[in-house]
Structure 1
Amino acid sequence: MSESQADDPDNFSRRVPDGDDRRRLVCDTCGFIQYENPRIVVGVVAGWEDRILLCRRAIPPRTGFWTLPAGYLELGESPEAGAVREAWEEARAALEIDQLLAVYSITRISQVQLIYRARLSHARVEPGPESLEVGLFRFDEIPYQDIAFPSVLWALKDYRETLDQRGFPPRVEPAQRPPPAVPPAESDRQ
């Protein structure tokens, strides 16, 4: 396929290619199949003493809401390196990955999220270009009502449940895990 054909969306139609079982974008000129695959998101729940690092988003979606340092894995990058890079880009956080905390499959937006448990090297953090502000929060200080995405709540809950564990198997979640009914900090009080 020539570069001009690949750049021309009019050359593509959505159909089931021979030997396949689902509709794909196929070049009408040369038969090239453009596979559309899930995106891999990498991130961390990074702790410092009894606090968790959160970032207030400066970019869409969910601008102004709190999240974990996370983002898309780059080509040629290991998931661990991507998670470290995202923490630096969003919070200027230096950290060490402990282990994989969880894998979340979010099929409605075609994402697979790999979330790691990490330790901050020091408490000095500051907003990167994708964050309005960053902060270190105790579990009872986390602004649960202003969390950007359900997967952030899942990761905070999974982190809290594994705080004192080493070498635990990562949580691998079904495709449509619902958000926790109550924030993790309040669930211990019931």
Structure 2
Amino acid sequence: MKFCSECAHPVVQQIPPDDNRPRYVCTHCGTIHYQNPKMVIGSIPLWQEGGETRVLLCRRAIEPRYGYWTLPAGFMENNETTSDAAARETEEEAGANIRLQQLFAMLNVPHVHQVHMFYLADLLDLNYAAGVESLDVRLFSEAEIPWEEIAFPTITQTLRLLFEDLARIRNGEGDFRFHTRDITRPMRQS
């Protein structure tokens, strides 16, 4: 940040008197510009087929990770609830008609200043289609998931948790659980 959004004067980075971390501060009008994590909200659209659960994934038509598979998700907008955001993103990216269920996963991704939240969702029909941000939309069983082509670690983690819960449910060991995880910066390979 270089300029104040209130008065357009240059900002400086300093620790305000009542704070404990550096913030962008306008020394002209006194505005403190707080920067907070962005919320990425999505759904896990599920379809039951022949006793098998399939999940709807979208192939990204945008960067980052163009051409990789993801769950329908995106940044939450102002004046939205998290469930509104999940339903909107699913409609925009997958053209899917869903019924949202409970919140399934919340993943903290501090190194990119994001929190990712995913709701379970029932697909109401098979009338889905790629939106402008998707090259393709397809149902996958666990065995068909293109694991090496998943766009983000949060999506891989969420899908693994989903299939772990489904295995537990098939064994009569309860229902879906709420999961929370911290996704740390991936290690670079040398």
Match of 1:115 among 101, 115, 118: 118
8 Å contact kept, 1:41–1:72:
yes
SS at match of 2:129: coil
For residues 30-87 of structure 1, the C-alpha deviation after alignment (integer angstroms, 9 at most, x for no partner) is 1100000000110111111121100000011001110000001111111011101100
SS at match of 1:151: helix
State the alpha-carbon separation in 1 of the partners of residues 136 and 87 from structure 2: 18
Question: Which residues of structure 2 form unaligned runs of 5+?
Answer: none
Sort the Cα spacing of 1:175 and 1:144 in 2 relative to 1 into closer, same or farther, 3 A: closer
State the alpha-carbon separation in 1 of the partners of residues 83 and 4 from structure 2: 36
Sort the Cα spacing of 1:9 and 1:145 in 2 relative to 1 into closer, same or farther, 3 A: farther
State the alpha-carbon separation in 1 of the partners of residues 30 and 106 from structure 2: 35
Give the equivalent residue in structure 1 for 2:97.
94
Give the equivalent residue in structure 1 for 2:181.
173
Residue 174 of structure 1: CA displacement?
2.9
Give the equivalent residue in structure 1 for 2:137.
134
8 Å contact kept, 1:101–1:158:
no
Letter in 2 for 1:173: R
Residue 123 of structure 1: CA displacement?
1.5
Match of 1:125 among 113, 123, 128: 128
Alignment of 1:157-168 (within 5 A): 157-163=160-166, 164=169, 165-166=174-175, 168=176
TM-score by length of 1: 0.86
Give the equivalent residue in structure 2 for 1:22.
21
Letter in 2 for 1:16: I
Residue 5 of structure 1: CA displacement?
5.0
Give the equivalent residue in structure 2 for 1:78.
81
State the alpha-carbon separation in 2 of the partners of residues 132 and 177 from structure 1: 28
Residue 9 of structure 1: CA displacement?
6.1
Residue 136 of structure 1: CA displacement?
0.5
State the alpha-carbon separation in 1 of the partners of residues 19 and 6 from structure 2: 24
Bigger mean CA offset, 56-65 vs 168-177: 168-177
8 Å contact kept, 1:117–1:159:
no
Q: Verify: 1:6 aligned to 2:5, yes or no.
A: yes
Give the fraction of aligned pairs with identical amino acids, expressed as a percent: 40
Letter in 2 for 1:123: L
Stretches of 4+ moved more than 4 A in 1?
A: 7-10
State the alpha-carbon separation in 1 of the partners of residues 4 and 143 from structure 2: 55
Match of 2:56 among 48, 53, 56: 53
Aligned length: 175
